[in-house]
Structure 1
Amino acid sequence: MNVALKWQSLPGSALDAEQLGHLASSCLKLEVETYPKPGLVSHVDNGAHGDMDAELLCRSAETLKPFFSDLAAAGAEGAGMNRLRAIGVAAERAMLAATCGVNTHRGAIFGLGLLCAAAGYRGALGIRKSLGDLVSRRWDKDILSGPISLRSHGAVASRRYGAGGARAEAADGFPSVYDIALPALHAARKLVPHDEEAVRIQTCMTLIADVTDTNLLHRGGPEGLRFAQASASAFLAAGGIGSAGWRGRAIDIHRAFVARNLSPGGSADLLAMALFVDRLER
């Protein structure tokens, strides 16, 4: 599997809704094509997941492509949250049909979908605000007041442990993307300018170290979250991808997550969102 982001010569504002949907889907596939990511599915193994593999995730990403385009088109037309939510619900139904009921990308439909809508809105108006700022300014109240999914493991963990979760992240303009992931991604490119997979690994490790990932809380509780954050922090403190033997240490962390049934799915979604935003706001 070799995923390439297209339209590198085009500014983000020049991408139409179909291209934005393609880009969002490609970013989800790039997240899959990253190894080792602690506990997560990749093109090498299934991580801590017994119900999904890389092929299933890529099928899901492909299924979601037209819905991301629809969200971008709706954003360009100034749609409110009710319309965006309806598209998201249709996307989730299509995802579950394509994966035989496996929740591969529910979190990405929400977060990446809002960023697609913001990208469409920004392109239609020709404005220069960040996508995260637009999401927060246009839809923050509706994001926080909308219906809560009772099926989402992340939502359950948010309620149980008092974590902010995906809704708070989106309503605040995706601070984990802008304040954590993007700076890590740009710094990693300076360390290894010719290895984008390593850049994605470093970014993912930084997210795991710094984000209260509700998927980790769901699987391992506070103890599992602390273990995950400490493991990723130790990797970064040792030099991350800039140190000799880093890949072996990353694989060891991955195996430790698998042994504990830990999977930072929220960080995986944020990585894909960061790749999307980076492409459009570079």
Structure 2
Amino acid sequence: MNTQAFAVPNVSIDNNPRVRSFQERIAALAERCLRLEIETWPKPGLVSHVDTGSHTDMDADMFRRSASVLRPYFAEMVDAGMHDESMSVLRKIGLRAERAMLHATGGVNTHRGAIFGIGLLCAAAGFREAGHADSQTPLGVHVSRRWGREIVAGPRLPDSHGEMAGSRYGAGGARQEAAQGFHCVYQIGLPALRAVARLAPGNAEAARVQACFALIAVLEDTNLLHRGGLDGLRFAQQAAREFLNHGGVGHEEWLCRAEAIHNAFVERRLSPGGAADLLAMSLFVNELDVGVLP
């Protein structure tokens, strides 16, 4: 990873006087990024403020409730990182966050992947803020260096769709992505967000759509593997690549083309949930490691 490209600027995370501590400010940013992800359309097969995509058991309001209830647990993650806690402590906070999410959604998994990914990045933000490591190093590097081994060696969730798909198809999934420092976030998501300054200047939602498609194009998304097998994954990746190869959101008819791909995913009941989580994570680190939030 080219860490020089992501030197950390002096940015104001949240100027709201009611949000006082560093932990609360980072947690507020985490919630905002989850909300920005749901306020993005079209995202192929995914729930948004426009429709429910390939899902019949969840909608945008459910995602908003989930994001809101997770905020205090993200603050706990930041605090744990500031105190240099182990992965086992972070995991306990994550499990409590997951129970709160399920209570808020009536048992529907809206943000399990985001609890894991953004939770680790929150912990890394606290770890860095407390001076445990170089303040100019990206959050993903801190996650990999401080908790990477524990992430790989940690307990499995055999009943999770991601673990089952990963075992069947050999995909690394969220665990591998985190242990390696969130390569897809820094090498795919962030460059795509910034590229839109050239392709569609001033269109924040288009930037998020571009990043989502870029992530789908390369990610071995275990959610896609679970729903569509290898054929579903390859279809999704190829559709995303064709969208990008024809100009992405820089194409004059990009919105119609993106909506057509979205509808094709819905017809096949495909949902790239891993890409949605990584989009929210990309927005999060784009604010903290670069200083710009589309």
TM range (shorter): over 0.9
The residue number in structure 2 matching 1:85 is: 91
Which whole-Å CA distance do the structure 1 matches of 2:245 and 2:118 have between them? Answer: 30
Provide, for residues 40-90 of structure 1, a one-character-per-residue CA deviation record: whole Å limited to 9, x for no partner. 000000000111000000100000000001000110111111110110010
Structure 1 residue 175 and structure 2 residue 175: aligned?
A: no
Secondary structure in 1 matching 2:244: helix
User: How many correspondences in the alignment?
Assistant: 274
Shift of residue 119, structure 1, vs aligned partner:
0.4
TM-score, with normalisation over the residues of structure 2? 0.91
Match of 1:23 among 26, 29, 35: 29
* Root mean square deviation, CA, Å: 1.4
The residue number in structure 1 matching 2:112 is: 106
The residue number in structure 1 matching 2:52 is: 46
Structure 1 residue 118 and structure 2 residue 124: aligned?
A: yes
The residue number in structure 2 matching 1:154 is: 162
Contact 2:40 2:209 in 1 (8 A): yes
**Runs of 5+ in structure 2 lacking a partner?**
1-9, 15-19
Sequence identity of aligned pairs in percent? 57
The residue number in structure 2 matching 1:197 is: 205
Which whole-Å CA distance do the structure 2 matches of 1:9 and 1:15 have between them? Answer: 15
Amino acid paired to 2:268? R
**Runs of 5+ in structure 1 lacking a partner?**
1-7
Which whole-Å CA distance do the structure 1 matches of 2:204 and 2:138 have between them? Answer: 23
Amino acid paired to 2:103? A
Provide, for residues 183-232 of structure 1, a one-character-per-residue CA deviation record: whole Å limited to 9, x for no partner. 11111222222100000000000000111111000000000001000101
Structure 1 residue 219 and structure 2 residue 223: aligned?
A: no
* 1:15–1:199 distance in 2 versus 1, CA, 3 Å: farther
Secondary structure in 1 matching 2:226: helix
TM-score, with normalisation over the residues of structure 1? 0.95
Amino acid paired to 2:104? A
Secondary structure in 1 matching 2:130: helix
Contact 1:189 1:196 in 2 (8 A): no
Structure 1 residue 58 and structure 2 residue 36: aligned?
A: no
Which whole-Å CA distance do the structure 1 matches of 2:190 and 2:237 have between them? Answer: 18
Give the 4+ runs in structure 1 shifted more than 2 A.
Answer: none
Secondary structure in 2 matching 1:103: coil
Provide, for residues 163-197 of structure 1, a one-character-per-residue CA deviation record: whole Å limited to 9, x for no partner. 01000000000000011111111112222221000
